[in-house]
Amino acid sequence: MVQLAALGAALCAGLVSAGAYPPDVVDELAESSMPKLKDWLAKNPQPGCTYETAAKRTEWSDLSLDERKQYTNAVLCLQSKPALMSSQAPGAKSRFDDYVVVHIQQTPRNHGSYWNWDRYAKDPASSPLFDGSEGSMGGNGAKVAHQGIPIPGAPRPYDMIPPGDGGGCVTTGPFKNMTVNLGPIAPTLQQIPRNPRVDGLGSNPRCLRRDINKHAAAVTMANYTHSLIRSNSDVYWFQTVMEGQFPQGKWGVHAGGHYTVSGDPAGDFYVSPGDPVFWLHHAMIDRVWWIWQLQDLERRLAQVSMTRTMNNFPPSANGTLDDLSGLGVLAPDVKVRELMNTMGGLEGKFCYVYE
């Protein structure tokens, strides 16, 4: 009912047309997997969380205009609050920047291991996410001449994503006046001024740039995501295929989503959370992982893989459920096992499903 109400409000506001986004094969898989979740919960009651009380995470285009504006206003609020990490990262000017700092510092540990990509994959620049309206996450960047995106280690013709039609500053939508402060570290646009610090944590104010790219979006179609979930029963291969097997010329949906936005900082491996749309992309990553877990909850709630450092560089021990993960000064450290369970982790503080 909540989803129908949100869709109705969106229709009344002229945000989407009736039947614009029928369920895709991933949506259908998620829906057909819900009995498995309910059965597991019946056998394994969770502290402070039931299916009935779980929060429902909803796709962007299913939100009403007011709900979308509440989200973007919350981001703008974070960008108006003073940073907590400016002593270690002089470039951090806001609470929003604090999260970017944590990502930069933890990138070697957190990588390699919601927007519904398929809805907008054919024409992302015209989608409710990027059309530049007040109900969007901001528009494409102004059109400027620039090269494509090189993919290190990939064979030709997969070693270069052709450029999109943007590349310049975002001039429409809620973030048209946004200032990017941190990075770059690994830019995909060559015209970005360098950071005064090698670690990217110095002050480097500039505009938000995007190059919305339908070539990258092509690998985020639902058939790729469905195959990722259904064809990889082991977490190692699930993670590997999601990230991308670049030496074989195979992009993963994770990389495809990032390069759909591209620009600065979204196209920067380290600084990508500096574009607010990063958080919707990674909520979709979380949703896909959640649907993958639902296929075998007893086993997959306890599956971790690979070492504690990306590509085992520098060499490190294998990750475990008892490893600590945290957000520095922004949140206390918690064990990984608590983050694995969206239906009762952290003594019920994690209690959500995806619609």
- Packed helices 2-12 and 65-80: angle between N→C axes, nearest 10 degrees: 90
What is residue 98's predicted lDDT score, i.e. its pLDDT? 95
Residue with tokens 């997997």: 33
What is residue 13's predicted lDDT score, i.e. its pLDDT? 45
Contact 141, 166 (CB under 8 A): yes
pTM (2 decimals)?
A: 0.91
CB under 8 Å to 225, separation ≥6 — which residues?
26, 117, 118, 253, 288
What is residue 310's predicted lDDT score, i.e. its pLDDT? 74
Element containing residue 334 per DSSP (H, E): strand 334-335
Reported for 14-20, long-range contacts at CB under 8 A and 24+ positions apart, including other chains, are 15/61, 15/64, 15/65, 15/128, 15/135, 16/61, 16/128, 20/61
pLDDT tens digits for the chain (355 residues)? 333 333 333 434 445 544 579 999 999 999 999 999 999 999 999 999 999 999 999 999 999 999 999 999 999 999 999 999 999 999 999 999 999 999 898 764 444 439 999 999 999 999 999 999 999 999 999 999 998 888 878 888 888 899 999 999 999 999 999 999 999 999 999 889 999 999 999 999 999 999 999 999 999 999 999 999 999 999 999 999 999 988 888 889 999 999 999 999 999 999 999 999 999 999 999 999 999 999 999 999 999 888 777 777 788 888 899 999 888 888 889 999 999 999 999 999 999 999 8
d(CA 273, CA 184): 12
Contact 281, 115 (CB under 8 A): yes
Q: Which CATH architecture has domain 2-354?
A: Orthogonal Bundle (1.10)
Burial of 328 (0-12, 13-18, 19+ CB in 10 A): middle
**Up-side HSE of residue 339: CA atoms within 13 Å toward CB?**
16
What is residue 107's predicted lDDT score, i.e. its pLDDT? 61
Question: Of the candidates 254, 126, 266, which has an alpha carbon nearest to the alpha carbon of residue 209?
Answer: 266
What is residue 308's predicted lDDT score, i.e. its pLDDT? 77
d(CA 211, CA 190): 13
Instruction: Write the CA distances from 48 to 54, 270, 314, 334, integer angstroms.
Output: 9, 35, 40, 18
What is residue 10's predicted lDDT score, i.e. its pLDDT? 41
> What six digits make up the tokens of 19?
């039947």
What is residue 210's predicted lDDT score, i.e. its pLDDT? 98
Position 115, amino acid:
W
Position 216, amino acid:
A
Domain spans in the chain, listed from the N-terminal domain onward: 2-354
What is residue 11's predicted lDDT score, i.e. its pLDDT? 38
